[in-house]
Amino acid sequence: MGHVHSGERIINDEVAAQLKSRFDAEMIRTVELVLIKGPHNEEYTNWTEQMLNELSELTDKIKVKVYDIRMEPEIIEKYNVSRTPTVLIDPDAGYKIRYTGAPTGYEAWAFVETIILVSRDESQLGLKTKEILKMASNSDKEAHIMIFVTPTCPYCPHQVLLANKFAIELKGVVEADCVEAYENPDLADLYGVSAVPHNVIAVRLNGKEETKDVTIGVQQEEDYAMRVVKSLRE
């Protein structure tokens, strides 16, 4: 699933058939995908809206809701969104999983996997990882994991999926944020991104956010869980 010219389908017939059978077999409850549009990155926004609609046509368990911050500015505060396009996965069910920028290229795979996991309310993390994360389950702080990616990076989706799994396991305590670096160059500069995946664990308390941990590359599951717990406990 890459860039397309308007009028063409993004998900070809073969992939659509595979996705449909997976959704039918693996999804348990309905998942709502919220797309937030605005004045920026219009080409990526249009692509994302088309892709989400094509996914929703494959199963009645995916619903798409679209907001435009120019028409409904209150959405900015409701979902804490300042960039467009942003996609939120099941935010009204309490999950904090977002894509800041279009989930194009390799990222589409992790995006689909995340939808299925959310539908099952199951992170599929290892038992030891779950035990580690449990240490932070009643934290009064929130971990904001930002994974900076590019669409051509084949390793990035693995790290994004790991962060998303943490956000499923620690619902409400961890926010996973897949940030497309090309679409958000100012953010990439701010966090000094030179190689991807560039992984930032920031901690929020009383509206203030502080960076605690930065790694480059795909991280080992249990080790990264420890990094998240350590960041929340500092």
- For 177, the enclosing helix (H) or strand (E) is strand 174-180
Residue 79 CB-half CA count within 13 A:
34
Q: What is the reported pTM?
A: 0.95
Closest CA to 31 of 94, 76, 77: 94
- Residue 4: per-residue pLDDT: 43
- Residue 234: per-residue pLDDT: 86
Asked whether 1 and 105 are in contact (CB, 8 A), the reply is yes
Asked whether 225 and 133 are in contact (CB, 8 A), the reply is yes
Portion of the chain with pLDDT greater than 70, in percent: 97
- Residue 6: per-residue pLDDT: 52
- Residue 162: per-residue pLDDT: 98
Asked whether the predicted pLDDT for residue 207 surpasses 90, the reply is: no
Of the pLDDT bands very low, low, confident and very high (cuts 50, 70, 90), residue 217 is very high
CATH number of 13-233: 3.40.30.80
Q: What is the pLDDT of residues 43-65, one digit of tens each?
A: 999 999 999 999 999 999 999 99
Cα-based angle 222, 202, 216 (whole degrees, multiple of 5): 55
Q: How far apart are CA 24 and CA 58, in angstroms?
A: 9
- For 86, the enclosing helix (H) or strand (E) is strand 86-89
The mean pLDDT of the chain is 95
Q: Which two tokens stand for residue 156?
A: 């990035």
Asked whether the predicted pLDDT for residue 2 surpasses 60, the reply is: no
- Residue 140: per-residue pLDDT: 93
> Could you tell me the residue ranges of all domains in the chain?
13-233
Q: What is the pLDDT of residues 132-166, one digit of tens each?
A: 999 999 899 999 999 999 999 999 999 999 999 99
- Residue 3: per-residue pLDDT: 46
- Residue 7: per-residue pLDDT: 63
Q: What is the mean pLDDT of residues 164-193?
A: 97
Q: What is the pLDDT of residues 93-130, one digit of tens each?
A: 999 999 999 999 999 999 999 999 999 999 999 999 99
- Residue 178: per-residue pLDDT: 98
Q: What is the pLDDT of residues 31-44, one digit of tens each?
A: 999 999 999 999 99
Q: What is the pLDDT of residues 65-79, one digit of tens each?
A: 999 999 999 999 999
Closest CA to 111 of 98, 120, 123: 98
